[in-house]
Every structure is written in structure tokens, then in C-alpha cells.
Amino acid sequence: MTDSTFSQPVRLAGLQRVALMVGVAGLVLCGLGYSVDHHQFLRSYLMAFVFWVSVALGSLALLMVSHLSGGGWGIVARRVFEASSRTLPFLALAFLPIAFGLEDLYLWAQPALLASDTIIQHKAPYLNQSFFLVRTVLYFVVWSGIAWTLSAWSHRQDAGADTSLRMQRLSGGGLLVYAITVFFMSVDWIMSLDPHYYSSIYGMLFMVGQALSGMAFTIAILSIVGQREPLTRTLGVNHLHDLGKLMLAFVMLWAYLTFSQFLIIWSANLPEEIPWYLARMQGGWGWVGLVLIFGHFFLPFFLLLNRDLKRNARTLSLVALFILAIRLADLFWLIGPAHGTTRVAVHWLDLVAPLTLGGLFFAVFLWQLGTRPILPVGEPWLQDAIEQGAGH
């Protein structure tokens, strides 16, 4: 497929400028928040950081799945997946506030508590600041390396090179590496906020949550660019239907893993595990949990069962935006009680930090999206994907 009408990216310069202005204005507010209460700033920033990293990593995972499985949905969404995953170097730079605030965020990083807590002492060979930072650097090097290599080979494919097999092979091994690194990342960044707690399902929950975040973000973006050339004549109802079905599958898998973790821990009733849930059932946190049960599963589940909804870009994008919001609420529920917050209280930084990092993330994403053709013009199955999407 070499149709030159696909060679120019969709122009979203105005939206990029707005995103950048939101990010810059947010930085000023975040600086003010840090000067007033740096503990609250770091908690809010960690939530925002993990949320946007989840979007980028979920996009990377979906990119690799699409290379392995084929299908028109992956071809029309490939540029969004690639641009999202290429934001990882920016997100690595955005990790710096967390790196400098480890002692404020993590109990295991506090020397006084380390000296008095035998459980943390036993975990100290793994949970220590130096090794934590080394692992984080390794994560971003590996993730960025996979993302940029796949993008580079996809760019070469546009120029006529046959790189399909190499992208498939890298995706196969890359998914395994992704699973391993995300498991350890979830332990490092979130689960270790309570160093006494452990769950073997935690990493799987984060992988599914990232895939859901990446899919929801991609659907929302496609609903914007799909209203403009050239996607107005290439993004078909069958593509939307497939993306909606995948989002439904991730919603169901998240609910299954979440309930499985709760059932196993509640049944075992072990002193190192059950306090984690008890803290999230008191002081209003239980109401947040009920909101997640309804908003993260029941509502999107029943909405996405509707075939017509999944085949309409506007309604599907509204569900996707709602899922992104509820994913942020899930992180709020995971992180808040870990810092001893016994009652639910939404601080203004809990809203400003995600918007700030999101504005900067979105500006970088749109910049990357504009550096390549909006569709993979060198993909040999592109024309078939377009015809299948339209129902031919």
C-alpha cells in the first residue's frame, strides 16, 4: 500500500499548543503545592505518574500484540500505539521528582523505620534506594528500547523495507520482557508503599490495567483523528467494533483478577495481607471501592455489550474517557490509604498533578504522532484492513 494520501499526518498543532499550555500552567501550580506541602505533592504526583506511564506501557503492549496477532484494528491504531510508547523517554525524565522524594513516599526508604522494623530489614536487600533506582533506570531503558526499535522498523517498512517478521519476533520476546518488568515495577512503585503487604496477582492486575488504559486512550484519540482526513475514509465501524470488544475483554479480566485477589486474601486472613484491605474499607475508602466496582466493571461492562455503541466513534470514545477517569480513581484508592490517610480527602493536587503531567504527555504524544504518516503506508495488509473495517 503506497497511497500518498496517507503520507501526511493529521494536523493537531492547535491541540498540542493547548496541551502544552495546560502542562506549563500546571507546573506552576505544582511548584506552589510542593512549597506548601511537599508530602501531598509527592503522593499526588506518584498517582499521576503511574497513570500516564500505564497509558504508554499499555500502548506498547497492544502494539506488540497487534504485530503478533494481525487484524485491521492493530493496523489502523498502530501510529497511536507507536506515538504513545515513544513518550517513555519523557516519562523517564518525569520520574525525577519521585527519585528525589523516596524517603517521603516509601516507608522502607526511611532509616529510622528500617532500624526498628524487622520485616523491612528482611526485605532491605531488595527494597533499598540504590537498587530501586537502578531497577527503574533498567525498566525505562528496556521499555524505550523496544518501543523505539519497533517504531524504527515500522518507519523503514514505510520506505519499502520488509521488516514484518522482525517486528513479530521482537514483539514475541518483548511481551515476555514487558510482563516481567511490569511485575517488578508494580511491586517497586506501588505495592512497596506498604512494605508488609504482598500479592502474587498484583503484577497481573497492573498489566491488565495498563492494557485497558492504553486501549481507552487509543480509542479516544482515534475518535478525534477519525473525523479528519485520511482516517474519515479508513477508520471503519468494524475497526471500532473490534477495539470496543477488546476494551470489554480487559474490563472483564480486570474484574476477575481484582475479585480473585480479594477472595484469596480475605479467605486466608493473614496478618501481613488483610490489613491492606481493612485500610481500604474504613474512613470512606470503602465507598471509593464501591464506586470502582460499579464504575470499573458493571457500568462499562453493560455499556460495551451494546453492539451499536461499539460501532459509533462518539459513544465508544465517551466510554473510553470514562474508563480513563475510573483508572485514575483506582490508583487513588491504591495509593491514598498506603500513606496513612484514614479518611477520603481529595486534595487539589490530586487533580492538578494528573492534568499537569497529562498536558505535557499529550504535547509530546502529539509531537510524536505528527512525525510519521497517520497510517502505516508500507504495511502490506493495509488495504485489506481498510476494506475489512468498512465491512467489505
Residue 127 is assigned to a structural domain of this protein: yes
Reading the block at residue 92, the C-alpha cell is 523517564
Under 8 Å between Cβ of 309 and 318: no
Can you give the pLDDT at residue 283?
82
Can you give the pLDDT at residue 272?
81
C-alpha to C-alpha distance for 99 and 129, rounded to whole angstroms: 9
- ∠367-63-5 over CA atoms, to 5°? 55
Q: Is 284 helix (H, G, I), strand (E, B) or coil?
A: coil
Closest Cα to residue 174, out of 53, 60, 51, 58?
Answer: 60
Count of the separate structural domains present in the chain: 1
Residue 261 is assigned to a structural domain of this protein: no
Render the burial of 306-345: b for 16+ CB within 10 Å, e for the rest. Answer: eeebbbbbebbbbbbebbbebbbbbbbbbbbbbbebeebe
Residue 181 is assigned to a structural domain of this protein: yes
C-alpha to C-alpha distance for 366 and 368, rounded to whole angstroms: 5
Residue 36 is assigned to a structural domain of this protein: yes
Closest Cα to residue 198, out of 187, 207, 213?
Answer: 187
C-alpha to C-alpha distance for 242 and 220, rounded to whole angstroms: 14
C-alpha to C-alpha distance for 339 and 291, rounded to whole angstroms: 21
C-alpha to C-alpha distance for 306 and 308, rounded to whole angstroms: 6
Q: From the centroid of its chain, how far is CA 63?
A: 13
Under 8 Å between Cβ of 157 and 379: yes
Q: Is 269 helix (H, G, I), strand (E, B) or coil?
A: coil
C-alpha to C-alpha distance for 15 and 6, rounded to whole angstroms: 21
Calculate helix-pair angle for 348-369, 38-69, nearest 10 degrees: 40
C-alpha to C-alpha distance for 156 and 172, rounded to whole angstroms: 20
Its domain, for residue 233, covers 4-247+349-389
Residue 29 is assigned to a structural domain of this protein: yes
C-alpha to C-alpha distance for 236 and 231, rounded to whole angstroms: 9
- Please name the helix (run of DSSP H) or strand (run of DSSP E) that holds residue 145, with its range, or none: helix 129-158
Q: How many Cα neighbours within 13 Å face the side chain of 310?
A: 19
Residue 291 is assigned to a structural domain of this protein: no
Reading the block at residue 342, the C-alpha cell is 484514614
Residue 265 is assigned to a structural domain of this protein: no
Q: What residues contact 11, with CB distance under 8 A and at least 6 apart?
A: 228, 370
Look-up: residue for cell 521499555? 143
Kindly list the averaged pLDDT for each block of 10 residues, start to end, along the chain of length 392: 51 84 96 94 96 98 93 88 97 97 94 88 94 98 97 90 91 96 96 91 95 96 76 78 95 96 91 89 90 96 95 93 97 88 86 97 94 82 71 50
pTM over 0.85: yes
> How far, in Å, are 15, 265, 308 from residue 169 at the CA level?
36, 38, 36
Q: What residues contact 220, with CB distance under 8 A and at least 6 apart?
A: 317, 320, 321, 324
Residue 262 is assigned to a structural domain of this protein: no
